Structure 1
Amino acid sequence: MTLPALGRAVRFCTYGMMASLPFAVGGVNVFGTLIILLALLSREWWSVFPRLMRNPMVLICIAMLLLVWLGTFRTAGPHQEALNVLNRYHKLLFIPLLIPFFQQLKHRMMALNVLLGALLFNVVISWTEFFGWTHVSDQAYLGTATAPGDSVFHQHITQGLLFCVSMVVGSALAWFEKTRGRKIYYWGAVLLAASNVAWVMVGKTGKAMLPLLALWLLGEWWVSQKREKKRAEAFVHTSPNASLGSVTRSKWMFAGLALLVLGATTWSALTPSTMLGTAFQEVVKSRATGQDNSQGERVEFWHKGLILISHESWLGYGTGSVLTLTRKLAETAQTPVGHLATTNLHDEYLMWAVQFGLPGALIILLFFFVYWRGGKQAGMAGMALRGAVMIFSFGCLYNSFLVDFAEGYSMVLLAGVLLPL
């Protein structure tokens, strides 16, 4: 029996999944289910199956899912919680499922344009909410949003991350676009998202990523300058002294702008009136008085995670064990913030280390390493992957993106669409 060619249908569902990502959980789930069925029934996927089984990222995803599944048999928590965590990590399947269908540039471009368009619509609505022109914010989040536009279709942590994803995608598309009109559109989308994160959003997740994104763009510019100089020297008889002077000027410009970004970030972090400054103030107050506040909770969860790792660092406690273990630690705490327990340590690296020990810590690091290696490919896909891995790997220091819904799907969809076979 010959399997049908279903590549076009898989790509259509992927576009639908990306278009739904900023808005509808139901849309992501429906299109995601269709992708699983169509990909496994398609001739294209099975024809490259042997190559997939040699792909480093595919092997790592399989190993991660196997580790999570095995952890359900030795969990220190309820079996239902273990199955819930396993279900949250199943999104890793989309990386091997999508890679074979997005090896052509036109398909990758289409996917990124769909994602950027959906995210840009979210950004625009956030701005109109901020100015009071519209009132469409999801009622479920109005009680937690402290400013209009901070939480439109998702809570501010998710919205901040998605807006940063739009900056990465828009920058990569703009960088390699030749048409002036489209280039203006892409850079305009980037500026709208960046200014929204900086001035409209109250959440600190996106704000903490802005300096990193600025440094990433500066790095991309500097590397492109060096490549241009080498290309010019190869085809044109350029004076060595002139070439050296040009490279030196680029180096000093890069260093100066990087120092400016770092200086502005340091000032913002040390100024109590800024959002980043309030984060540090909350941590100091919570550690000094035991007060329960947003950033104090995060630090307390990290502290509990490190305690758990120190007691069982080799194999961990099993899948879905975090809530049970943090409850036990909370029982002996002496402060309000210490009495808190959680299912999510707000650090992806700690989540893997606590549940799966040393193998878990190594495999999440390998995941991001291979993600980063995918960024070595030339062109738009490589640049987008480099930007994506920077914000995801950095953001996972203070969030658990693979556990979260929209954040995790944005991570795996970009990998599935952009990684080489």
Structure 2
Amino acid sequence: MTALARETTAAMFWRRLRSPAAWGETVDLFALLTAASLPWSTSLAAIFNVAFLVCMVPFLDVRAFLQSLKRPIAAAPIALVLLALMGTLWSDAAWGARLYALSPTVKLLVLPVLLYHFERSPRGHWIFIAFLVSCALLSVMSWLVVFYPGLSLKPYDPLERGIFVKNYIDQSQEFTLCAVALAYPVMMLLREKRYWLAGLLITLALSFLVNMAFVVVSRTALVTVPIMLAVFALLHLRWRSIAIICVALLAGAVLAWQASPQLRKTADTFSRDYRLYMEENVPTSMGERLEYWRHSIQFFMQAPFVGHGTGSSQGLFERAAKEPSWVQGVRVFPNPHNQTLHVAVQWGVIGIFVLYAIWVFHFLLFRGDGLAHWIGLLVVVQNLFTSLFNSHLFDFHEGWMYVIGVGVAGGMVLRTQQAGAKMGEAGS
């Protein structure tokens, strides 16, 4: 390379280093990599997210960013983190346990940053495409692992059939979100008579559903898929279309039920686990949840206003496990597998109020028509209903799905609203 070429390259590099637009593209790239890596690796997702935040700093408009934090959609997640931080002061747990319980809430601080950035970036749709493509590749890998279990990075477990990385709960949440989210673009493409592209997306959506029917699916996904589809039907379809689709879905469900032993086995565990727990005191998965919920309500009643403090759940359950009422064999676990109870035990009524304020404000943000509205709404609905059976807002994988989904879609919605407001001003 000649001296002139080196000087030109260096000049271009420094010019891009001083360019806000170039930094904005880099931020978008790291957001894309975070979403694409989330189905595969928690470590990579964390690394790319840190890079995303670092690249936001050089040209951040601090005044505009601080102003954006005053909006309820940004303030509510911050309030929950601050409540968790203050909750460490009245907890009787060891400081290590308090800080460990605080850490799952910290991811919520990224949500206002995503809202702020994608309100200004025109590339929010890249993030969703990256996540969809990544999940599609994971679906292919899942089928390969079914036939060649040695390819899995996890030790063989018949309950984790077809899992290459992570676990079947995380994979089911990803595939459910992708399959149902595709319903809106398919509907729009059919209205525009773009049948080939609509057919491609239908095939992709069906591939996710077939994987869940014949490979592995979580019970939470079985419960939430009909709810998510019902939300789509009520928002976007006429009653005649709803009736036709319901008949088609019912026929498909019956066919899948008859053809898939795996699906029948998963569904049968609902009644089996409940019967074993209630009649024989056997510590099943459902039985453990019922035990956690029963004791969590008792813990909440003991400190209903501000709760027992951040990180207190572990000690409370350990003490409860020594009581005669505790079902023998049920594991001591600090997470009661219900988001509301998890918050109530630690931060009482105040925590419940802040938690539901987050869901309500984000739900209201996505009222309206458009792909970003639909994806954001779906993410909120999925998190709300799966949090009946898990603490998915605090879990790493599902929590980041919420933060990224609401943050990016919310930013896109705000950007659209801002553009509409400017057009209205120009026309007046």
Aligned runs of 1:56-75 on 2, under 5 Å?
Answer: 56-75=72-91
Matched residue type, 1:209: T
Q: How many residues are matched?
A: 384
The AA in structure 1 aligned to 2:352 is: A
Cα contact 2:299–2:345 (8 A) shared by 1: yes
- The offset of 1:352, in angstroms, is 0.7
- State the alpha-carbon separation in 1 of the partners of residues 248 and 148 from structure 2: 37
Find the counterpart in structure 2 of residue 77 from structure 1.
93
Could you say which residue in structure 2 is the equivalent of 1:146?
159
CA positional deviation for 1:171: 2.9
The letter of the residue matching 2:299 is L
Within 5 A, what are the aligned runs for 1:9-408? 9-43=26-60, 45-46=61-62, 48-103=64-119, 106-130=122-146, 132-133=147-148, 135-140=150-155, 142-143=156-157, 145-146=158-159, 148-149=161-162, 151-177=163-189, 179-222=194-237, 225=238, 249-250=240-241, 257=247, 274-334=265-325, 336-337=327-328, 340-408=331-399
Give the direction of change, closer, same or farther, for the CA distance of 1:362–1:192 in structure 2 (3 Å limit).
same
CA shift, 1:417, in A, is 0.2
List runs of 5+ in structure 1 lacking aligned partners.
226-247
Q: Is the 8 A contact 1:161 1:407 kept in 2?
A: yes
Shift of 1:94: 1.5
Which residue does the alignment assign to 1:409?
400
Change in Cα spacing, 1:171 to 1:398, as seen in structure 2 (3 Å) is same
Pairwise CA distance, 1:368: 1.0
Query: Helix, strand or coil: the match of 1:75?
Result: coil
Q: Post-superposition shift, 1:3?
A: 9.3
Q: Which amino acid in the other structure matches residue 346 of structure 1?
A: H
Q: Which amino acid aligns with 1:146?
A: L
Which deviations, in whole Å up to 9, do the C-alpha atoms of 1:348-369 show, x marking residues without a partner?
Answer: 1111111000011111111111
Aligned AA (2:31) = T
Q: CA deviation at 1:324?
A: 0.5
Native 8 Å contact 1:208 1:276 kept in 2: no
Answer yes or no: is the 8 Å Cα contact 2:335–2:391 preserved in 1: yes
Contact 2:383 2:393 in 1 (8 A): no
How far does the alpha carbon of each residue in 1:188-228 deviate from its partner, in whole angstroms, 9 at most, with x for none? 22111112122211532222222223323322332xx4xxx
TM-score by length of 1: 0.83
Greater mean alpha carbon deviation, residues 89-98 or residues 285-294: 285-294
Q: Structure 2 counterpart of 1:81, which letter?
A: A
Give the distance between the partners of 2:97 and 2:339, measured in 1 at CA.
Answer: 17
Deviation at 1:134, TM superposition (A): 6.4
CA–CA distance in structure 1, aligned partners of residues 329 and 290 of structure 2: 10
Residue 289 of structure 2 aligns to which amino acid in structure 1? R
CA distance in 1, matches of 2:368, 2:149: 42
Query: How far is the alpha carbon of 1:304 from its aligned partner?
Result: 1.4
Deviates more, 1:48-57 or 1:371-380: 48-57
**Cα deviations across residues 283-319 of structure 1 (Å, max 9, x unaligned)?**
2221222211111111111111111111111110111
In 1, are the aligned partners of 2:24 and 2:121 still within 8 Å (CA)?
Answer: no
State how far apart, in whole Å, the 2-side matches of 1:192 and 1:347 are. Answer: 30
Aligned residue for 1:139, secondary structure, equals: coil
Is the contact between residue 286 and residue 293 of structure 1 (CA under 8 Å) also seen in structure 2? yes
Letter aligned with residue 136 of structure 1? L
- Is this contact kept in 1: 2:176–2:208, CA < 8 A? yes
8 A Cα contact 1:13 1:34, kept in partner: yes
Q: Describe the SS at the equivalent of 2:283.
A: coil
Change (3 A) 1:324 1:258: farther
Is the alpha carbon distance of 1:135 and 1:377 closer, same or farther for their aligned partners in structure 2, counting shifts above 3 Å?
Answer: farther
Distance 1:91 1:137 in 2: 29
Change (3 A) 1:280 1:34: same
- For residue 36 of structure 2, what is the amino acid of its counterpart? A
- The 1:283/1:22 distance shift into structure 2, 3 A limit, reads same
Structure 1 residues 58 and 326: alpha-carbon distance in aligned structure 2, compared to 1, 3 A threshold? same
Give yes or no for contact 2:180–2:229 (8 Å, CA) kept in 1: no
The 3 A distance-change label for structure 1 pair 259 and 273 is: closer
Do the aligned residues in 2 keep the contact of 1:116 with 1:169 (CA within 8 Å)?
Answer: no
Are residues 327 and 276 of structure 1, via their aligned partners in 2, closer, same or farther at CA, if it must alter by over 3 Å? same
Change (3 A) 1:36 1:328: same
Alignment check: 8 A CA contact 2:91 2:309 kept: yes
The runs of 5 or more residues in structure 2 that have no matched partner are 1-17, 415-428
Q: Distance in 1 between matches of 2:242 and 2:204?
A: 28
Q: Give, in whole Å, the separation in 2 of the partners of 1:327 and 1:35.
A: 39
Answer yes or no: is the 8 Å Cα contact 1:85–1:403 preserved in 2.
no
SS in 1 for 2:123: helix
In the superposition, the TM-score normalised over structure 2's length comes to: 0.82
Matched residue type, 1:298: R
Residues 380, 406 of structure 2: 8 Å contact kept = no
